C-alpha cells in the first residue's frame, strides 16, 4: 500500500529507545566489558530517558492547553497505586520500610521501589509546572531552571558544593525529606515546562545541537566521575540542552501518535525491575547464576526479553476506537499553520495584533486544535461566528479575547458573561436589548460602512453615541468589514477606499468626542493581500491563516503561505467494467472501453458536491491524477484508474493536497465545484476525523 504522506509517530517510537536505556541503567550490560563504557552508557546517555518522558508529558498537556491535566494526574495516581501494590510483596520480603516516616517519604517523594520515583516526581512536577505556567514562560522557565540548579547541587555536584558548610547544611536538611533531588520539586518541573514550550528548530541545527551537547554532557559526566564528587548522577548542566535538541529533532519528524507503543513502553518501565528479581531468583534456583547474573550482557538480554514478553499484551489489545485514517480524513499540518501566522504577523503595522478567525471549526480545520496551535504561536485574540463556538474554545482552554462576530440572542447574555466572551452589537436595538438584561457585557460595536449586513450605520452618530452610553455595555472595540477588498477592479478599489475613509473618520470623531473606541479593526485576509498595513489594533485573518485564497483571482501582494489542510480517503474496492456497461446511480457512467474503477471511501455526506464528478473532479492516487466518474454517492465515489498499473484496496486517495509530485489545490477543487474555498472547506463533514501533525 502506498500512502501520500507517511505517518511516523517519532515521539512515541522514541519511547522504546528511552525505556531500553532505563533497562540498561538498571542492569549495567557493559559492566563485564568496560567499567568506563558502562558508566557512560548507563549514567550519561541513559539520563536522557526520564527527561524525555517528562518533556513528552508536558508537550501533550500543552497541546490541550492543560485542559486534560486533571485527567492526567488521576491516571498517574491510579498507575502509581497499581505499581505500589505490585511491588508491595517484594518490599515486605526485603524489609524496605523502616517506619511510618519512611513509608510516607517513599510514598510521596522517593517512590516505593527504586524506579517508581518517576510517578510521584511527575505528579508533583505537573502541579508545580501548571502553577508556574500561569506566570508565563519568561518567569516559569527561569524559576524551574533555578530549582534544577539547586537540585544539581545535591546530585552530580554534591561533592563540590558540600564543601561550603552553609550549603552542606542546606542539602542535609533536604535529604531528611527526600533521598534524592531528582524529584518533583527540583528535577521534573524544568523538563515538563520545556515540553510545554515545544521548541521546534531546524533539523540540522537540532541534530548538531544534540551531538554537541551530548559530547559536553559526556565530558562533564566523566570528569565528575573521575573527581568522585557525585552523590547521584541523574542531573547534569548539559542535560537540559541535550534533551531540548533531541526533542526538537524528534518533534520535527513526528506525525501522528501510537497508543499501543506508549502503553507497551510504560509496561516495560513498570515491570522490568520485577523481571530482574525473577531472573535473579530463577538463576539461583537453577544454579545458573554465573550465566544469567554474572554475565552482564546476557543478564540484560534476558531481563529485556522477559519484560517485553510480559508487556506484549499491550501490543495485542483490541482497538477501542476505529483508526482515524481507515476511511476518509482531514490531515492538518500544524507546522504550516504556525508558519502562516508568523508570515501574516510580519505584514502587520507595528502595534497591530493578529485576530484569528476560527469560526466554522476553523474553516474545517478543527476549531480547538487550530486555536491551541495559534495560542502557542502567540495569538491572543480569536473570532468565532456564534456563542456555541466561543464556549467550545473556552472549554478547550483558549484564553484571551474571543469575539462573536454574529448575532447572539440577548436571552443568552448570562452565558456571554459566564464564559468571558465579547459580543458584536448587531444594531442599536440589539445593543439596547443586551443592556436591558442587567449584566455587564463586553462588546465590540460593528459599524456599517456599506455592506448593510450588521452594525450601526457609520453616519448615524446619534445611535453610535447611544450605544456607548448604554448601561452594562463595555465597548472594547469598534470594527467594520471591507466586502469588496478581494477585487482589484478600479471601481471596487475606490469603494474600499471610501469605506476606509468613512470608518477612520468615525473613529476619529469618537476620540474627539472623548469616547474610547477600544480595539479598532477593519482588515480581513484580503485586506492583507490587497491593502497596505492599516493603523488598526487587530487584523481579522481567516482564510489566509489556512494557506489558501478564496479563489485564484489575482491579489496585490504575494505572501509565503502554506496550505494547512489535505483531504484524503481510501480505495475500498477495484472492479473492471466492460465496454457498454454502466456503473453508479442513474447509469450516469457508460464505459466506452474496458475500464478499471476504484471505489473511494468518501461522498457527498462528507461535504463534497454530489455533481463533482460531472464537473471534472479528479483525485490523486500514487502521485497521478485520476478522474472521478459516475454519480457521487452519499459515502463513496467512483474513480477511473485504468491508467494505473497497480492499485489495491487500502491505497490512499488525495482529494485535496499533495501526493508525490502532483498536487490538487483547494482553490482548484473549489473552482471545479463552482464555489470558493471558504465554503468548500467549512462544509467538510464532521465525520471526517482530523489527523494533525
Q: Which residues are annotated as a binding site for substrate?
A: 453, 634
Task: Provide the β-strand partners of residue 331.
Answer: 566, 691
Q: How far apart are CA 61 and CA 397, in angstroms?
A: 11
DSSP-derived pairing of the beta strands 456-457 and 441-448: parallel
Confirm whether 359 is a catalytic residue: yes
Burial category of 71 from C-beta neighbours within 10 Å (exposed 0-12, middle 13-18, buried 19 and up): exposed
The full DSSP string for 223-284 is: HHHHHT--S--S--TTHHHHHHHHHHHHHHH--S--HHHHHHHHHHHHHHHHHHHHHHHHHH
Q: Which residues are annotated as a binding site?
A: 453, 634
DSSP 8-state code for residue 543: G
Sign of CA dihedral 459, 462, 466, 468: positive
DSSP 8-state code for residue 199: -
Sign of CA dihedral 503, 505, 508, 512: negative
With vertex at residue 665, the alpha carbon angle to CA 663 and CA 669, rounded to the nearest 5 degrees, is 120
Q: Catalytic: which of 359, 483, 538, 604?
A: 359
Cβ neighbours for 676, distance < 8 A, ≥ 6 positions apart = 550, 551, 670
With vertex at residue 233, the alpha carbon angle to CA 232 and CA 238, rounded to the nearest 5 degrees, is 140
Task: Provide the β-strand partners of residue 425.
Answer: 445
Confirm whether 93 is a catalytic residue: no
Q: How far apart are CA 184 and CA 54, in angstroms?
A: 11
With CA atoms as reference, report the closest residue to 385 among 410, 368, 421, 360. 360
H helices of 407-489, in order, are 413-418, 428-436, 461-469
| Chain centre to alpha carbon of residue 422 | 26
Q: How far apart are CA 178 and CA 101, in angstroms?
A: 11
Q: How far apart are CA 596 and CA 646, in angstroms?
A: 11
Cβ neighbours for 239, distance < 8 A, ≥ 6 positions apart = 47, 48, 51, 217
Cβ neighbours for 9, distance < 8 A, ≥ 6 positions apart = 254, 255, 256, 257, 258, 261
| Chain centre to alpha carbon of residue 608 | 27
In this structure, what C-alpha cell is assigned to residue 437? Answer: 438584561
Q: Catalytic: which of 75, 395, 462, 585?
A: 585
Cβ neighbours for 586, distance < 8 A, ≥ 6 positions apart = 631
Q: How far apart are CA 562 and CA 447, in angstroms?
A: 33
Q: How far apart are CA 406 and CA 32, in angstroms?
A: 72
DSSP 8-state code for residue 616: T
DSSP-derived pairing of the beta strands 618-621 and 624-629: antiparallel
In this structure, what C-alpha cell is assigned to residue 77? Answer: 495516581
Query: Which residue do the cell numbers 477612520 mark?
Result: 504
Residues carrying an active site annotation: 359, 585
Amino acid at each position: 500500500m502506498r500512502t501520500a504522506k507517511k505517518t511516523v509517530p517519532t515521539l512515541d517510537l522514541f519511547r522504546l529507545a528511552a525505556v531500553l536505556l532505563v533497562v540498561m541503567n538498571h542492569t549495567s550490560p557493559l559492566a563485564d566489558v568496560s567499567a568506563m563504557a558502562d558508566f557512560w552508557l548507563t549514567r550519561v546517555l541513559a539520563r536522557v530517558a526520564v527527561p524525555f518522558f517528562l518533556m513528552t508529558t508536558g508537550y501533550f498537556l500543552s497541546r490541550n492547553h492543560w485542559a486534560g491535566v486533571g485527567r492526567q494526574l488521576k491516571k498517574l495516581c491510579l498507575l502509581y497505586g497499581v505499581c505500589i501494590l505490585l511491588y508491595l510483596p517484594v518490599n515486605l520480603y526485603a524489609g524496605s520500610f523502616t517506619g511510618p516516616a519512611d513509608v510516607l517519604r517513599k510514598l510521596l517523594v522517593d517512590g516505593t521501589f527504586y524506579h517508581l520515583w518517576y510517578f510521584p516526581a511527575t505528579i508533583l512536577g505537573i502541579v508545580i509546572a501548571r502553577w508556574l505556567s500561569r506566570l508565563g514562560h519568561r518567569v516559569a522557565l527561569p524559576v524551574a531552571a533555578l530549582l534544577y540548579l539547586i537540585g544539581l547541587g545535591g546530585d552530580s555536584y554534591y561533592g563540590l558544593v558540600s564543601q561550603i558548610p552553609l550549603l552542606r547544611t542546606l542539602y542535609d536538611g533536604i535529604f531528611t525529606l527526600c533521598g534524592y533531588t531528582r524529584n518533583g520539586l527540583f528535577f521534573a518541573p524544568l523538563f515538563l515546562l520545556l515540553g510545554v514550550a515545544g521548541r521546534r528548530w531546524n533539523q540540522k541545527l537540532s541534530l548538531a545541537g544534540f551531538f554537541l551537547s551530548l559530547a559536553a554532557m559526556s565530558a562533564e559526566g566523566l570528569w565528575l566521575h573521575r573527581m568522585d564528587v557525585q552523590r547521584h548522577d541523574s542531573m547534569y548542566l548539559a542535560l537540559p540542552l541535550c534533551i531540548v535538541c533531541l526533542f526538537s529533532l524528534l518533534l520535527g519528524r513526528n506525525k501522528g501518535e501510537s497508543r499501543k507503543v506508549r502503553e507497551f513502553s510504560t509496561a516495560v518501565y513498570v515491570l522490568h525491575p520485577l523481571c530482574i528479581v525473577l531472573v535473579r531468583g530463577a538463576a539461583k534456583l537453577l544454579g545458573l547464576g554465573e550465566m544469567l547474573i554474572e554475565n552482564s550482557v546476557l543478564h540484560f538480554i534476558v531481563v529485556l526479553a522477559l519484560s517485553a514478553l510480559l508487556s506484549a499484551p499491550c501490543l495485542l489489545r483490541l482497538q477501542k476506537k476505529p483508526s482515524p485514517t481507515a476511511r476518509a480524513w482531514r490531515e492538518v499540518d500544524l507546522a504550516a499553520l504556525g508558519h502562516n501566522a508568523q508570515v501574516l504577523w510580519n505584514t502587520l503595522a507595528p502595534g497591530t495584533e493578529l485576530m484569528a478567525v476560527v469560526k466554522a471549526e476553523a474553516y474545517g480545520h478543527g476549531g480547538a486544535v487550530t486555536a491551541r496551535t495559534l495560542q502557542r504561536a502567540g495569538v491572543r485574540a480569536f473570532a468565532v461566528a456564534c456563542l456555541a463556538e466561543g464556549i467550545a474554545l473556552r472549554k478547550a482552554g483558549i484564553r484571551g479575547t474571543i469575539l462573536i462576530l454574529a448575532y447572539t440572542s440577548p436571552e443568552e447574555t448570562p452565558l456571554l458573561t459566564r464564559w468571558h466572551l465579547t459580543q458584536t452589537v448587531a444594531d442599536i436595538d440589539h445593543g439596547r436589548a443586551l443592556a436591558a438584561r442587567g449584566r455587564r457585557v463586553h462588546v465590540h460595536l460593528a459599524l456599517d460602512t456599506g455592506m448593510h449586513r450588521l452594525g450601526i450605520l457609520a453616519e448615524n452618530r446619534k445611535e453610535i453615541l447611544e450605544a456607548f452610553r448604554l448601561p452594562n455595555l463595555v465597548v472594547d472595540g469598534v470594527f467594520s468589514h471591507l466586502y469588496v477588498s478581494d477585487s482589484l477592479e478600479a471601481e471596487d478599489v475606490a469603494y474600499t477606499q471610501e469605506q476606509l475613509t468613512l470608518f477612520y473618520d468615525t473613529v476619529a470623531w469618537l476620540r474627539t468626542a472623548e469616547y474610547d473606541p477600544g480595539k479598532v479593526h477593519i482588515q480581513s485576509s484580503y485586506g492583507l493581500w490587497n491593502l497596505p498595513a492599516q493603523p488598526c489594533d487587530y487584523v481579522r485573518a481567516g482564510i489566509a491563516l489556512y494557506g489558501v485564497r478564496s479563489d485564484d483571482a489575482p491579489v496585490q501582494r504575494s505572501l509565503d503561505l502554506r496550505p494547512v489542510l489535505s483531504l484524503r480517503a481510501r480505495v475500498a474496492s477495484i472492479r473492471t467494467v466492460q465496454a457498454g456497461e454502466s456503473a453508479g446511480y442513474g447509469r450516469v457512467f457508460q464505459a466506452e472501453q474496458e475500464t478499471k474503477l476504484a471505489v473511494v471511501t468518501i461522498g457527498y455526506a462528507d461535504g463534497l458536491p454530489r455533481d463533482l464528478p460531472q464537473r471534472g473532479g479528479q483525485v490523486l492516487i500514487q502521485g497521478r491524477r485520476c478522474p472521478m466518474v459516475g454519480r457521487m454517492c452519499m459515502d463513496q465515489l467512483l474513480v477511473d484508474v485504468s491508467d494505473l498499473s497497480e492499485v489495491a484496496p487500502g491505497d490512499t486517495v488525495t482529494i485535496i493536497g499533495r501526493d508525490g509530485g502532483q498536487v490538487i489545490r483547494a482553490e482548484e477543487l473549489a473552482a471545479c465545484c463552482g464555489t470558493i474555498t471558504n465554503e468548500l472547506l467549512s462544509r467538510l463533514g464532521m465525520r471526517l476525523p482530523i489527523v494533525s501533525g
